[in-house]
Amino acid sequence: MEIFDLTIHELHDKLKAKEVSSVEATRAMLDRIEAVDGQVNAYITVTPEQALVEAEAADRRIAAGDIAPLTGIPMGLKDIFITKGIRTTCGSRILENFVPPYDGTAVAKLKEQGAVIVGKLNQDEFAMGSSNESSYFGPVKNPWNLECTPGGSSGGSAAAIAARTATATLGTDTGGSIRQPASHCSCVGVKPTYGRVSRYGVIAYASSLDQVGPLTRDVTDAALLLGAVAGYDPKDSTSVNTPVPDYLAGLKSGGKGLKIGLPKQYFIEGLDPDVKRAMDEAIALYKSLGAELREVSLPHTEYAVATYYLIATAEASSNLARYDGVRFGHRADEIRGLKEMYAKTRAEGFGSEVKRRIMLGTYALSSGYYDAYYVKAQKVRTLIMQDFLNAFNEVDVLLTPIAPTPPFKIGEKLADPLQMYLSDIFTIPVNLAGTCGISIPAGFSAAGLPIGLQLIGKPFGEATILSTAYAFEQETQWHLKKAPL
C-alpha cells in the first residue's frame, strides 16, 4: 500500500500518529502525478511549489497538536473552482491565462482545515459535457481503460481518484457531472441538495442546477469531505441556512428497515445487460440486509433530458455573456470596433459544445420562443419535482443505475450531440428536482469497465444516502479494486 493509495481517513490516521508527514504524502502524490498523468491527462495545472508550502504549514500545525480531518491531505480541484493566485481555466481557451484574485468558499473551507491543493483538474469546457472531450486541454483518459472516456464533466476529478493522483477531489454536478464520472471511474461521488454547498467562487454554468460535491475513494471520505464544505454562506444568495449534520457519525445507521424505491422508468429495455446485472445484485444485497424494496413511479422521467437542455442552456447563455474580452480572459486581435471584439473573442475562445449550448439557450430565450420553450420547460420541471415528492412519501431512498451503459470509447458519441445528451437520463432528474444523489462502485462489465449505483435521497437527505451507501460498501469489495495504472 503506497501513500497515494490511501483514503483521507487512512492518511489522516498516519499523519496524526506521525508515521508520515504531509510533505512526504504531498511529494508522493506529486511524483505519482509525474509518473502517470501523461497517460491520463487528469490535471490542467499542477502546483508543486505551492503544495509543498501548504504541506509544510500543515506539518507545523500537526506538530502543534492541531489536526482537522483534511489537514495535510493532498487534494485536487476541478478547474471550475476559483483559486487565488492559481490559474483557473474552466477547461476553456477563453480563460487559458486567467488567475483569480480570490478563493471561492469551498476552497477557503478546505484551506482553513489545512488541506493541500496539488493542482487543478481537467473537465469539459464550462462543465458542458458527459465525456470530458470538450476540454480545450484535451480529453481525459479513463484509468480503467485508456481508450474510454472517464465520463464528464468532472472527468479529471474522477480519473484522478482512479489513477490515485489525488487523495480526494471536488467536482460540480449540473446534470450528473459528479455522479456519472464517479460511476465510470469506480469512485464515490456525491451531488448534494441544491443550496447545501456554497457556489460562491464556482464558475457558473446553469445557476439553478449547479452544485459542488466530493469525489472520493470510499463513502467515509465522501462524508468527511461533504461535511467540510457544506453549510450556509452569506456570499451565495441561494445557499440554504440549515444545520449540517455530522455525516460521519450517522454512517453506520443504514440498511435495516429502510424503504428503498425502484423507479420503474429507470429499469427499462435497452439498459446494458452488465448494468442490469449489477443493479440486480445490488437489489438482492439490500434485501439481504433487511431493507424493504418496492417499485415506484416517476412518470415524467422521459421528459427530463428535454427539460434540462432548455433550462440549462438558457441559464448558460446568460451566464456566459460575461466572457466578452473586456475585463478578463482572451481577447481577439485585429478588431474593428466593440461588436466585432465580442463576436470574434467568443468565437475564438469557446469550443463547439459551448457554442452549441449558448446558441440553444439564446434561441430558447429569444422573443417569440420564450414561452414555448423556456417557460414550458420550467412547468415540466415542476412536474418532475412533484414526481420525486410523491415517491418520497412512500420510500426513504431511490435506487437506480447512473448511466445506461459502462464507459464508452473516446470519440464514440462526438458526432451526435443528442445521443451524448441522452446518456444523462438517469442523473438529470435529480438536478431538476434539486435533491441529492450519490454514486458508488457496484461492479464491472464483462470488459472490466466500472459500473456505478445511484442512491437518491430527499432534499437535505445526504445523511440517509451516505449511510445507505455505507451499508452497501461494507458488504462489497468493488471500492477496493484498483485501476491497472
Partner 1 sequence: MKITRAEVEHVARLARLELTDAELDTFTGQMDGILAYVEKLNALDTDGIVPTSHAVPMENAFRADEPTGSIGVENALANAPQRAESFFRVPKVIE
Closest CA to 59 of 73, 47, 80: 73
Q: Which 96-115 positions form the footprint of partner 1 (CB under 8 A)?
A: 97-99, 101-102
CA-closest candidate to residue 241, choices 249, 250, 232: 232
CB 297 within 8 A of CB 391: yes
| Half-sphere exposure in the Cβ direction for 86 (13 Å, CA) | 25
CA dist 82 and 278 (Å) reads: 38
Q: How far is the CB of 474 from partner 1 (least distance, A)?
A: 32
For position 404 contacting partner 1 by CB under 8 A, the verdict is no
Could you give the dihedral angle defined by the CA atoms of residues 471, 475, 476 and 480, in that order, rounded to the nearest 10 degrees? 80
Catalytic annotation present for 78: yes
Question: How many residues belong to the site for partner 1 (CB under 8 A)?
Answer: 72
Which of 21, 177, 239, 317 is flagged as catalytic? Answer: 177
Say which DSSP state 236 is in. Answer: S
| β-sheet bridge partners, residue 294 | 261
Pick out residues in 128-157 that bind partner 1 (CB under 8 A): none
Stretch that binds partner 1, among 10-18, 115-123, 140-148, 343-351 (CB under 8 A): 343-351
Is 177 among the residues known to form the active site? yes
Smallest gap from Cβ 268 to partner 1, in A, equals 16
Given the complex with partner 1, which of 274 and 348 has the nearer CB atom? 348
What is the Cα–Cα distance from 74 to 118, expressed in whole angstroms? 6
Are the C-beta atoms of 247 and 223 separated by less than 8 Å? Answer: yes
In the complex, the smallest distance separating the C-beta of residue 411 from partner 1, rounded to whole angstroms, is 17
Hey, which residues does 409 pair with through a beta bridge? 148
* Per-residue x/- track, 224-263, partner 1 (CB under 8 A): ----------x--xx-x-----------------------
Which residues, other chains included, contact 396 with Cβ-Cβ below 8 Å and sequence gap of 6+? 258, 259, 260, 457, 458, 461, 464, 468
Please, what sign has the CA dihedral across residues 228, 234, 236, 242?
positive
By residue count, the chain amounts to: 485
Asked if 376 is part of the footprint of partner 1 (rule: CB under 8 A), the reply reads: yes
Smallest CA-to-CA distance from 464 within 296, 294, 252, 289 is with 252
Asked whether position 459 contacts partner 1 by CB under 8 A, the answer is yes
Q: How far is the CB of 195 from partner 1 (least distance, A)?
A: 5
317 binds partner 1 (CB under 8 A): yes
Min dist CB 415 to partner 1, Å, is: 10
Rounded alpha-carbon distances, angstroms, from residue 391 to 149, 262, 294, 308, 316: 33, 10, 11, 21, 30
Please tell me which residue in 131, 134, 153, 467 is annotated as part of the active site.
Answer: 153
Interacting positions 287-316 with partner 1 (CB under 8 A)? 300, 302-303, 305-307, 309-310
Choose the stretch contacting partner 1; rule: CB under 8 A; options: 18-26, 158-166, 376-384, 448-456. Answer: 376-384
**Smallest separation, CB 156 to partner 1 (Å):** 23
Q: Is 370 in the site for partner 1 (CB under 8 A)?
A: no
Minimum gap (Å) between residue 118 Cβ and partner 1: 24
Contact between 359 and partner 1 per CB under 8 A = yes
Q: Which is nearer to partner 1, 94 or 166 (CB)?
A: 94
- The binding track of 191-220 with respect to partner 1, each residue x by CB under 8 A or -, is --xxx------------x------------
d(CA 264, CA 168): 34
Contact between 52 and partner 1 (CB under 8 A)?
no
The span of 4-12, 243-251, 375-383, 390-398 binding partner 1 (CB under 8 A) equals 375-383
What residues are labeled active site? 78, 153, 177
